[in-house]
């Protein structure tokens, strides 16, 4: 019999492989989606060569997809904006990669500079625009993938939404 205790642990309990979770192949939480956006933003070689600027319409490119989510790259020349909209049933992460974008919501206006992130839930209405003199680039992750983008009246953010075409390119 032991004098201190009959229970003894051999080895380091934290090294027991069956207690460790296997790393996930795809993000599954808001924090993991935000982390994916930061990871892509930090590795310019993944996206900078794809960016195009179009003065007649906002340019966009689907960068990647995964189970239930999409990652989009968008460029914004001075004066381009999304219009007031929400993302239907999709949640999202908006990350500014280059330049500055302005986000307008019913709660106010904020400048989003390179590195800024916004995480939003379904139904979050906003207008994003480039009101600077320099182009901007942003990354958008939607979960589930974007299938609806209801547009709202600019006069009132609480206006009844007008559905955008299903499957349309993302506003933001």
- Give the pLDDT score at 165: 35
Query: Residue 40 pLDDT > 80, yes or no?
Result: yes
CATH label, 30-143, candidates 2.60.120.10, 2.30.30.760, 3.40.50.880, 3.40.50.720: 2.60.120.10
User: Rounded to 10 degrees, what is the CA torsion of 149, 144, 167, 65?
Assistant: 130
Q: How do the domains of the chain map onto residue ranges?
A: 30-143
Give the phi and the psi of residue 133 in degrees, each rounded to 5. -100, 5
Global pTM reads 0.78
- Give the pLDDT score at 10: 61
As a whole number, the mean pLDDT across the chain is: 85
Longest Cα separation, the chain: 84
Mean pLDDT of 53-80: 96
**Binding site, residues?**
85, 87, 126
**Binding site for Fe cation, residues?**
85, 87, 126
Instruction: Give the count of beta carbons closer than 10 Å to the beta carbon of residue 138.
Output: 27
Query: Residue 71 pLDDT > 80, yes or no?
Result: yes
């Amino acid at each position: 019999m032991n004098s201190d205790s009959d229970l003894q642990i051999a080895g380091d309990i934290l090294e027991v492989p069956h207690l460790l979770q296997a790393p996930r192949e795809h993000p599954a939480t808001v924090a993991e989606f935000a982390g994916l956006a930061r990871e892509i933003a930090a590795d310019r070689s993944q996206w900078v060569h794809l960016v195009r600027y179009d003065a007649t319409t906002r340019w966009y490119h689907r960068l990647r997809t995964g189970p239930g989510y999409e990652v989009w790259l968008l460029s914004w020349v001075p004066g381009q904006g999304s219009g007031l909209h929400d993302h239907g049933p999709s949640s999202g992460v908006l990350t500014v990669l280059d330049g500055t974008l302005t986000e307008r919501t019913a709660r106010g206006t904020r400048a989003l500079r390179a590195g800024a992130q916004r995480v939003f839930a379904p139904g979050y209405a906003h207008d994003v625009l480039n009101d600077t003199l320099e182009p901007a680039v942003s990354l958008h992750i939607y979960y589930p993938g974007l299938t609806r983008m209801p547009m709202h009246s600019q006069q009132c953010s609480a206006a009844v939404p007008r559905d955008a075409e299903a499957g349309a390119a993302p506003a933001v």
